Structure 1
Amino acid sequence: MLETVTAPVKDHASSHVNLTWLLAETTAIQALGTSAVLIVPALAPVIAANLGVPSNYAGYQVSVVYAAAMLSSLMGGSFVAAFGPCRTGQIAMALVAAGSLLVGIPTLAGMIFGSLAIGLSYGLINPSASQLLLRHSPPARRNLFFSIKQTGVPIGGMIVGIVGVRLAVSVGWSAVLWMLAATALALMLALQPARRVLDGERTRPESFLRSSIAGFEIIRSNRSLVLFASTSFFFSAIQLCLVAFLVVLLVEDLDVGLVEAGVILAAVQVMGALGRIVWGLVADRIGSGSLVLVLLAALMAAGSAAVALIGSAAPLPIVVAIFMLLGLSAVGWNGVYLSEIAGRSPPNAAGSVTGTAMFITFAGVLFGPTLFSLAHGVLGSYIASYGLLAAFGVAGGALAIAARRASSSR
C-alpha cells in the first residue's frame, strides 16, 4: 500500500518523504490550478452578462491564460532550481489566489490581470511536480505516480462543473472565485512544513535567463526528447478540441439535450481520470511508456476517424461509446507523457526540461481549437471536423514511433 511506502531523499539520509502525502500534495495543486483555468469558461454566460461583453470573449480569456502559461513554463526550471520544487508549488498557489481574487472583481481589467496570474501559475505546476515525483517515486512505479498526479486535471474540471457552477447560482460568481483563492492560500500554507525536506537540493542558478533556456538546449540535443515533446502538440490539441467542443457537437449536430450533453461530457472526464491511472499501470507493467503513447495515438486517430465517418448516422449509444474511448485515450495520455519526459531528462533537470516540453504542449492547446474552428467553418459540421483530429492522431503517432526509434538508437 502507498501509505506504508517512503522514499529516501538524496543527500538527506535521515529524512523520508511519505509518498501518499506527496501524491496528495501534487494532485491537489494540479486540481486547484486546473479549476482556476476552467472556472471562467464554465461561468462565461453569467460573467459576460455581468461585465457587459459577449460570452464568446471567454475564448480570448483562455488564450490569455495559456499564453501566460507558455511563458512561465519556460521559467519553471529556473524557479525549481532557485527556490526548490515545493516552494515553486507554493508560488503557483499564491498566483492562483491572486489571480482568482482579481478575476472576482467584476471589471475587464481585473479579468485580464487575474487571467495572466492564473496562467503564470499553471505553467509552474508541472515543472515542480515532475522534479518531486522523479526524485522520490520508485522507478518501477514512476508512470503510475505521474499518472495519479495528472488525475488532478479532470478532478479540477469536475470540481468546476459540479461544485463551481452550483455555487455561482447560489452565492454569485465572484464568491466562487474568492473561495478558490482561499483554498489555494490554505494549500500554500499546508505545504510549508514539508519544504525543508522537499527543497533540500535547490541551487541558485547563475541567471534566470540562462537557466530558462537550458531546457531548450537539453531537448534540442536529444532527438528522442524533441520528438516526444512534439507529440504533445497534437495530443493536447485533440484533448482540448474534444472537451471544448463536445457539448456543442452533441447539441447542434446530434440534437442531444443540453443537460444530457453535459452528463456525457462529465463521463468523458471521468474516463480521462480513469485512463490516466490505467495507462500508468500498463506502462509500468510492460516497462515502456513510449509504446503506450504509440497505442494511445492509434486510439485517438481511430476514435476521431470513427466520429467523422459514422458519427452522423450511427445510433447515439454507439457515438457516446466512441467518445468514451476518446476520453480514455485523448484525456488519459498526460501522465505517461510527463513521466517519459522526466525520465529522459538529465539528473536535476527534470523541471527545466518539463517546462520546455510543456511550452510545446500549451502551443497545441492554443492552436488546436483555432484550427478545429476553421475546419468547422469550411465543413459546416463539428462531426466532419473530427477528420482533422484523426490527422492529428496519425501525426502524433508517427512522432511517437520516431521517438522510440531514436531512443533505441542512442
Structure 2
Amino acid sequence: MINVNIVEAKAEHSGLINPWRMLMWLLIAQLMVAFVGRSLGPLGILIGEDLSLSKAEIGLLPSALFIGQAIASIPVGFTADFIGSKPLLLILSLCLGVSFLMMTFLSNFYFVLVLVLIGGLGYGAMHPTSNRGIIYWFSQTRRGTAMGIKQMGITFGSALAGFLLLPLSVTFGWRPVLLIACVSLIITGFFAYLFYSDPVGSLKSREKSNFLFFRTSLSKMLKNKPLLLVSLSAMGLNGSQMCLNTYIVLFAYQKMGVSLFLSGILLVISEVSGSLGRIGWGVISDRLFKGRRLIILFIIASLTAVMSTIVALLPSGTPFSALIPIIIVFGFCVSGFNGIWMNIASELVPKEQTGLSSGFSITLGSMGVIFVPPTFGLMVDYTGNYTAGWLSITVIMGGVLVLLTLLTLESRKIGQSERKI
C-alpha cells in the first residue's frame, strides 16, 4: 500500500510532479466529459422537438447515459487499480466522444438511445478513474478539497453546456454544435494522456488482475455495509440531481413562462452553484469538520428537501428574478454532494481498492439516475403539472436521511473511525 502523504510530499519537494498539476488534468478531463455527456440536459428540449419525444422519453436520455455508467463503473474501477488512470483518460474520452459524435447523424430515437448508453460507458467510468488519482495524490486533510475541485468539473461542464451549447443549438441546430463539442473532447483526451502521470508505485501487481481476484474483491464490497448505505443514499441524491438538470429548463419555460434562453440560464445557475457546492462542501468538511464527511450529507439532504418543496409550491408565472436564489441554493446542495460521496466511498476501504470501491458505489448510485428522471417525467405527463414531481424529490430526501442515520449507527457499531466519514 502506498503512503499517500509520502507520495505527495516527495512530489511537492522534488519539483518534478506536483499533485495540483495532476489535479488540473483530472479536472479538465472530467469537465470535458461532462460538457458532452451532460449536454443531454440543456439540449433535451431541442432533441425532443427534433425526434418528437414525450417528456418521459426525454427523461430516458440521461437514464441511458447512466445505465452505461452503471455497467462500466465496477469493471473500469477494478482495471484502474492495475493500469492506472493515465491510459483510461484517453480511452474513456474516445468512448464518449465518438459515440455522441455518431449520434448527431441519426434520427431514430432507439438508435440514439443505444449510442447514449455506449457514451455512458465513457462518461461514468471517468469517475472511478479520476477518483483514484485524487486518493493517491492527496492526503486525508486535503482530499476533500481536491475531490471537490475535481468533481466541480462535472457541474461546471454541465453549466458550460447550458451556457454555450443551448444558445448555439437554437441558432445552428443541436447536431453540428454537439459534433464540435465531441471533437473537442477527443482532443482533450489526447492532451490529458500526454500530460497526466500516475504516482510511482501506485499500481497493483498484474498477477492479481484475474476474474477470481475480481470476484473476491467485489464480494468484499458487497459485505461492506457502510459502503452499501452511502451508495444507496447517493442513489436518491443522484436521481434528484438529474431531475433538476433534466427538467429545470422545461419547468421554467412551460410553467413559469420564462423564455427558452433564460430557462437555459437557470440551468447554468444551478450547475455553477453545484460547482461551487462541490468545492465548498469539501472545504467545509476538511476545515470545519477535520475530514468528517457524513454530517455534510445530512445537511445537503435536508436543504434539498426544503428547496424541492419550495419549487413544488411556486405559482405559475413566478418571475425569473425570484427563481434565481431558489435555484442557487437547490443546485448548491443537490448538485454539490458528489465530492463528499466520492470521498466517503473511497475512504471506507484500503487505498489499493479505491478504484473498485468508487466503481461499486457509482454503479449503485447510478440506479437513481436511471429510474428517477423518467418517473418524474411520467408524473408530469400524467398530472399535467410539475408539483408531484418536485414533491417526489422531497420524499426521496426523507429516505436518504433514514439511510444516513442507519449509516451513522452502523459505523459506530463496527467501530468505524468517525474522522473518516
Please give the range of the TM-score, normalised by the shorter of the 2 chains. 0.7 to 0.9
Between 356-365 and 241-250, the greater mean CA deviation after superposition: 241-250
Q: Distance in 1 between matches of 2:267 and 2:45?
A: 18
Q: Distance in 1 between matches of 2:175 and 2:255?
A: 34
Per the alignment, do residues 299 and 247 of structure 1 end up closer, same or farther by CA in structure 2, a change over 3 Å counting? same
Unaligned runs of 5+ in 2: 1-6, 416-421
Q: Residue 331 of structure 2 aligns with which residue?
A: 327
| AA in 1 matched with 2:70 | M
- SS class of match (1:191): helix
Contact 1:147 1:277 in 2 (8 A): yes
Superposed displacement of residue 48, structure 1: 6.1
Q: Residue 87 of structure 2 aligns with which residue?
A: 87
Matched, 1:150 2:148: no
| AA in 2 matched with 1:73 | S
Superposed displacement of residue 112, structure 1: 4.8
| AA in 2 matched with 1:321 | P
Superposed displacement of residue 354, structure 1: 0.6
Matched, 1:230 2:232: yes
Deviations 1:301-341 (A, max 9, x none): 12222333x42389655554333221111111111111111
Contact 1:342 1:353 in 2 (8 A): yes
| AA in 2 matched with 1:312 | P
Between 32-41 and 351-360, the greater mean CA deviation after superposition: 32-41
Q: Residue 132 of structure 1 aligns with which residue?
A: 133
Per the alignment, do residues 17 and 74 of structure 1 end up closer, same or farther by CA in structure 2, a change over 3 Å counting? same
Q: Residue 304 of structure 1 aligns with which residue?
A: 308
Deviations 1:279-309 (A, max 9, x none): 111111112111111111111112222333x
Per the alignment, do residues 214 and 35 of structure 1 end up closer, same or farther by CA in structure 2, a change over 3 Å counting? farther
Q: Residue 419 of structure 2 aligns with which residue?
A: none
Question: Aligned residue pairs: how many?
Answer: 401
- SS class of match (2:8): strand
Superposed displacement of residue 248, structure 1: 2.4
Unaligned runs of 5+ in 1: 1-5
Q: Distance in 2 between matches of 1:194 and 1:61?
A: 33
Q: Residue 111 of structure 1 aligns with which residue?
A: 112
Superposed displacement of residue 227, structure 1: 0.9
Contact 2:81 2:354 in 1 (8 A): no
Q: Residue 353 of structure 2 aligns with which residue?
A: 349
| AA in 1 matched with 2:293 | G
Q: Residue 262 of structure 2 aligns with which residue?
A: 260
Q: Distance in 2 between matches of 1:264 and 1:40?
A: 15
Contact 1:264 1:320 in 2 (8 A): yes
Per the alignment, do residues 147 and 195 of structure 1 end up closer, same or farther by CA in structure 2, a change over 3 Å counting? closer
Q: Distance in 2 between matches of 1:214 and 1:199?
A: 26
The match for 1:281 among 280, 283, 288 is 283
CA RMSD of the aligned region, Å?
A: 3.0
Q: Residue 3 of structure 1 aligns with which residue?
A: none
| AA in 1 matched with 2:150 | K
What is the 5 A alignment of 1:86-235? 86-106=86-106, 108=108, 111-112=112-113, 114-168=115-169, 173-194=174-195, 197-198=198-199, 200-203=201-204, 204=206, 206=208, 209-210=211-212, 213=215, 216-235=218-237
Between 341-350 and 38-47, the greater mean CA deviation after superposition: 38-47
Matched, 1:371 2:375: yes
TM (normalized to structure 2)?
0.85
Superposed displacement of residue 133, structure 1: 0.3
Per the alignment, do residues 383 and 188 of structure 1 end up closer, same or farther by CA in structure 2, a change over 3 Å counting? same
Contact 2:22 2:196 in 1 (8 A): no
Q: Distance in 2 between matches of 1:9 and 1:77?
A: 26
- Runs of 4+ aligned structure 1 residues displaced above 6 Å come to none
Contact 1:215 1:355 in 2 (8 A): no
Superposed displacement of residue 172, structure 1: 5.2
Between 254-263 and 91-100, the greater mean CA deviation after superposition: 254-263
Deviations 1:230-285 (A, max 9, x none): 10011011111122222222333333333333222221222111111111111111
Contact 1:127 1:355 in 2 (8 A): yes
Matched, 1:382 2:382: no
Between 283-292 and 110-119, the greater mean CA deviation after superposition: 110-119
Q: Distance in 1 between matches of 2:131 and 2:176?
A: 32
Superposed displacement of residue 390, structure 1: 0.8
TM (normalized to structure 1)?
0.87
Superposed displacement of residue 376, structure 1: 3.4
Q: Highest relative contact order (Cα 8 Å, sep 6+), 1 or 2?
A: 2
Contact 2:133 2:198 in 1 (8 A): no
Superposed displacement of residue 190, structure 1: 1.9
Superposed displacement of residue 22, structure 1: 1.7
Q: Residue 271 of structure 2 aligns with which residue?
A: 269
Superposed displacement of residue 181, structure 1: 3.3
Contact 1:236 1:362 in 2 (8 A): yes
Per the alignment, do residues 182 and 253 of structure 1 end up closer, same or farther by CA in structure 2, a change over 3 Å counting? closer
Q: Residue 32 of structure 1 aligns with which residue?
A: 32
Q: Distance in 1 between matches of 2:68 and 2:207?
A: 22
- SS class of match (1:256): coil
Superposed displacement of residue 35, structure 1: 1.9
- SS class of match (2:351): coil
- SS class of match (1:358): helix
Between 97-106 and 331-340, the greater mean CA deviation after superposition: 97-106
Q: Distance in 1 between matches of 2:36 and 2:216?
A: 29
| AA in 1 matched with 2:144 | N
Superposed displacement of residue 224, structure 1: 1.3
Q: Distance in 2 between matches of 1:199 and 1:185?
A: 27
Superposed displacement of residue 156, structure 1: 1.3
